[in-house]
Each structure stands twice: as C-alpha cells, then as structure tokens.
Structure 1
C-alpha cells in the first residue's frame, strides 16, 4: 500500500486560487491545501455567519485573502491576475435551496454568471494549468428514481438553486470546449452529495440546525424526515477534487479534460434525514428529535430522493469513500463538541484532516475497493 495519497506532493509550492474560501467547504479546502504546502489565495464575500470556520481557523493570516463579489467581473479578473494560479478551485456560490426561492435573481446571477466571470478571467489572464469547477448533485434533472445519477445524465432543476447549478454545468462545458481546452488549460466539473462536517453554521442546513437546537436545549425539528440524501463528510469530496486536480496538472493520460465527475457516498450510506438527526443526538449525548408541523415551507419543493453513481471516480481515479455514515457523524459531532469545549480550531481541523488521510489511504487501495 502507498504511504501517501495521490495528490500529497503535487500542491507543495503551487499557487492555488480558491473562490468561496470563507465558506464551509472552502475553508476546509484551504486548511488542507495549506497543510500540503500550497501558496493559497482566496476570493469571496466576507464570512456569512458568526461564528464561522474561516475566522476560527485564522485563515486571513495564513493565506492571501481577497474580499470580492463573484457577480463583479472586474473584481474576479483582478483576483485571478493577482493570484497567478497554477490551479483554480471554483467553489463560490449561493448554496441554499430554500434561499433560492426567496432570492432567485441573486441565485442565478451568482451561480451562473459568477461561473462565467471565473472561467472568462482564467482564459484571459492565462498561465492556469487546471480548473476545477464545483457544482452540486442537485445539478442533475432529478427524477427521484432509486439509482444514482451518472455524469452523462441530463442537467436541470425544479427549484432555482438546482436550475442554476445545472446551468452552471452548461456554462462550464461551453467554456471548456470553446476556450480552456484549446488554450491547454485542463479542466473538470465536479459534483458532490450533501456534505457535512464541523465548522458549518449556515442557516437552514440540517447539521447546524441540530447543533443550534441542542445548544439551546430545544428539540431538533425536522420538516422532511423521510427524505434520503447522500450524506458525506466534507473531506470526502475535497479529496476527490484535489485528486482530479493533481492528475490534470500532471497530465495523467487516462483523465480526459472538460468532463464531469461525481464524488458521493456508497448507496448504503444514503440515509433519511431522521437517521442523521438521531445520530447527532446520539453522538452529542443529549437532545431530542421531533417532526415539525407543516409550514409555508411545505409549498417549496425539495427533492425526496437523490443519489450519485460514482463508478467513474472509483474505476478511473481510484477514489473511494473512506468514512462510513457512522464515521462521518462521529467525526462531525466530535468536532462541534471539541469546539464547544474550547479546543484550538486549527489543531482540531488539522487533526481531522490527518485522520481522514489515513482512512483514505486504506480506502483507496485495490484490496479495499
């Protein structure tokens, strides 16, 4: 078995631009890239919550931090020109389904035109070796069937958020074919399941809602307890993103540029919302779960069933999920409990990254597969 992950020595000394670095996934990615020795620049709006993982990690003092709006093409261009990146991870987005019903214009403007602005800046600035465009499993036109969506399935979306992510995929495909590939810039668009992990305090997301309820001594209320989601720890897809980026930068011949990739849990780890909430209560050691009565949210459509097929990443990249559902919940709740107990968040986060790396080394072997 190899003693290191496939991307472990690729990012040292590399210039990396992460859009959305002040968000939940972006802050975890930056912490991991810094551990690997990368020269990291971030471009994003100020953190949207207090507390937030970005601030608790002290990332503003550990990397180049640029505040700007994805909807401003000049600001995006300046950030790319300043970073002079070898690789770009585009995570910045309006990421909440229910918020997209309240602010559809903002959602489309950020997720669709924001992607245009990033990809256009990359082609104009030049020098970029690889681009990883991060969208969502909700980019697929969800028929709520029992099998997982493949990368070749149709894009779409009934709600504004899902539609904006489907449209962002079309934008990526057009830019990859028309500009990036002819310029020698290798690229991929990646889609993950419902990510969870420590350091997320966003509104209207299940784990933060559970933690807030427990801290207040209130029951965890669920509006859609039977909905099945592909839950995975945030480090799972981030490892996949870095794996595909490393292969693109090193010119791995089996990786075609401009394609889509899924990174999700195994089918047996796709669980209903109720089980996730019960797992939070179990690992915290207190709390209760109740089903909320119907509210105005009942009129806002949310998918009931969504799964990803990850055969492509399994067979071509050799990427496999490292943590099962119970592992994910133990690590996630453990992070929040440690934070609540006064742990140093940088050390806590780096320790979980190191633990995940060891688990991934075991998972990403022919024997484990």
Structure 2
C-alpha cells in the first residue's frame, strides 16, 4: 500500500463510471492514496446509491455528469482534467437488462470504449489507460478449470458479447494507434463482486437486501450457478497495481489481466446465500419459476496466475470475510450510520 500511495499521490486520474458501485469505491480508494480524481458518468440512478451515501463527490476535483456515448462532451471533460491515467469503468453491466435493451448495451459498452480511447488520443497529458471489462468476456466452454487471458473471447448474451467487443476495441487501439508510443493500454477482467453500496436491480445481494427488508423470500433463478465471487476491493486493488505499472512506463503490462478469487471462493449462488444467512438469519429464498427466461452461464472460473506472478496481486480477504464486511455495511446503512466514515473504515481494514 505504501508503494501504491507513492505511485498515485498527486496523480491526475480520470474515472468513467464513478457514480456506480465499483466506481464509487474506486474513487474513495484513489482519494486514500492521494490522487486527484475527475469523474465522468451518468447521474446516480435509484435511491439510495453508494455515491450519495458515502459522499463520494466530496473527494473529487471535478464531477461531470455525462454519457460515454457523447464523444464531444467526454473529450472536452478529459482534456480539461488533463489526466495522466484514465480508468474506464462506465458500462451497461447487467446481463438480464442486456436482453431487454441490447442496443444501449452494445452502444455503451463498445462505442463508449471507442469514445474513451478516441478522447485518450486527443489528450496529450495521458500516459496510461485501463479498460475494465468482465470475466464474462470469455467464450464460455463450461470447463472445470479457469480461463486464462489468451483463451478465446465471446459471449452468448448481449452484455457478455459487448464486453468481448470492448476487449477487441482496446486491443485494436493498442495495436493501431499506440504501438509506436503514447499511452499504455491494459484491460482488466474481474469476477462477480460483492460489497456494501451495490443497489443495482437484478443482482443477488442487493435483491436479497430488498427482499429481507420487505419480509419476503428472495426469488433465485439459478441456485446451482457457480461464480467467482469476491469483495469489490479485491479487483480494485488489482486495477491499481496494474495502473501503477503502466504509469511507470512498463510496456510489458499493456495487455489483459484476470482478477479473480482463489479457487475455494468459486461458489454456487446457493452457497453464497447460505453464507449470508449466517449474518442475516431472516434471509429466505425460493426457486424462481422464470429461471430459464434468459440464458446465463452455469459455470465460470478465472485463472489469475498472471496477475499474481507479474503484479504481485493476491486476495487479501477470503470470501467469508468479504461476506461479513458486506453484511456489516448494509446493516450500518439500515441503521443510518455515517456511511462515508463506515466505508472508509472498511477500506482502512482492507489496506491494513
């Protein structure tokens, strides 16, 4: 963490998607490291939101409300901020929603990435960029072993396929426009993240929190589906380690990286719910009769050996700890605690 503080203190960083769940946590992490952050994203949606509860806007030098599909506004905001590093997290991130609105999913995830990298080309201060995608960018063969960075990209649903497209966009720009110099570009692929502050619709833990508060049973589509669960701070730590190497000028790191949990933390949905029930005994769930309405992968693992060996990244909290921290965050929010202080306290525990 001292090395990360040295790498980021005083650095100008441009974050897209900063009003979202992962983006808000990332901004607080960067603030702890002393970075000067500009955010560009859509307005926080729904009530409550992590961005508002944790008062993330107070940590920013600039806070732009905008769409990554708006090339002119995005480029103007980036040039004004003059960042050394761009972290691109803005996305349409829900599998089921991608079936309902594939056009927005494709335009945001693919053309949004094109617009970010076009803005990067016109930003002379930029030295590095990290495009965040997902573990679902792989062509899922339902293997019982982890996918590695050189495995084939793909995806059946619009979300997964569009994220594979974002990976191809990053590769194309790296090869076509920045091969002879300019900003170094990497991509990061993480698994299913949990943690306090996620209020998105159609996600397991936010849905569980809402069902519990309503006194109803949580409908579960695919209890046997296995996912690489991890606390949100785990991949964010990896992103920052990778970004620090890019900022140092290490061109060997300009490529794709997986950030997934240890093998023991690849659990089924039912097993994760059982872990949550140890903190929330009132949590109840039932099988949803609509479980086959949209095709979702039943099995997906990540092999993160590259990140461990090349970046020194390792899991700091086993999943049991991540579940406990997640439950504690929502309990504090329900009790109307100071969520900025509570969130920063959890961040300090992670960094320690």
Query: Same-fold call, TM > 0.5?
Result: yes
Match of 2:351 among 344, 351, 357: 357
Counterpart among 159, 177, 180 of residue 179 in structure 1: 177
User: What does residue 220 of structure 1 align with?
Assistant: 218
Equivalent of residue 17 in structure 2, options 17, 20, 24:
20
Q: 1:258-296, CA deviations, whole angstroms, 9 ceiling, x for partnerless residues?
A: 31000000111100001112222221232222222x22x
Q: Displacement of 1:140 after TM fit?
A: 0.6
Report what 1:284 is aligned to: 280
Matches within 5 A, 1:100-111: 100-111=98-109
Counterpart in 1 of 2:261? 265
Normalising by the residue count of structure 1, what TM-score does the alignment of the two structures yield? 0.93
What is the deviation of 1:5?
Answer: 4.6
CA contact (8 A) 2:5 2:34 kept: no
Q: Which residue of 2 aligns with 1:362?
A: none
Cα deviation, residue 257, structure 1: 4.2
Normalised TM-score (structure 2): 0.97
1:110 aligns to what SS in structure 2? helix
> In the alignment, what sits opposite 1:201?
199
- Cα deviation, 1:132-179, whole Å, max 9, x if unaligned, reads 110000011111111100000111110000000001100000001111
Aligned residues between the structures = 351
Instruction: State yes or no: 1:149 paired with 2:143.
Output: no
In the alignment, which residue of structure 2 is the partner of 1:325?
319
Aligned residues: CA RMSD: 1.2
- Whether the 8 Å CA contact 1:262–1:309 is kept in 2: the answer is yes
Query: Partner residue of 1:367?
Result: none
Deviation at 1:226, TM superposition (A): 0.2
> Aligned residue for 2:56?
59
Question: Is 1:46 the equivalent of 2:43?
Answer: yes
In structure 2, what is the equivalent of residue 344 of structure 1? 338
Counterpart of 1:304 in structure 2 is 298
Moved over 4 A (4+): none
Give, in whole Å, the separation in 2 of the partners of 1:50 and 1:299. 27
Alpha-carbon distance between aligned partners in 1 of 2:301 and 2:206, rounded to the nearest angstrom? 22
- What CA distance in whole angstroms lies between the structure 2 residues aligned with 1:233 and 1:258? 25
Indicate conservation of the 8 Å contact 1:5/1:357, yes or no. no
Return the match for 1:129 from 127, 130, 143: 127
Structure 2: how far apart are the matches of 1:157 and 1:342? 41
Over residues 87-123 of structure 1, what are the superposed CA-to-partner deviations in whole Å (9 max), with x where a residue is unaligned?
A: 0100000000000001001100000000000001001
SS at match of 1:147: coil
Asked if 2 retains the 8 angstrom alpha-carbon contact of 1:44 and 1:70, the reply is yes
Q: Please identify, of 31-40 and 197-206, the stretch whose mean Cα deviation from structure 2 is larger.
A: 31-40
Structure 2: which 5+ runs fail to align? none
C-alpha deviations, 1:188-233, integer Å up to 9, x for none? 1000000110000000000100111111111122110000000000
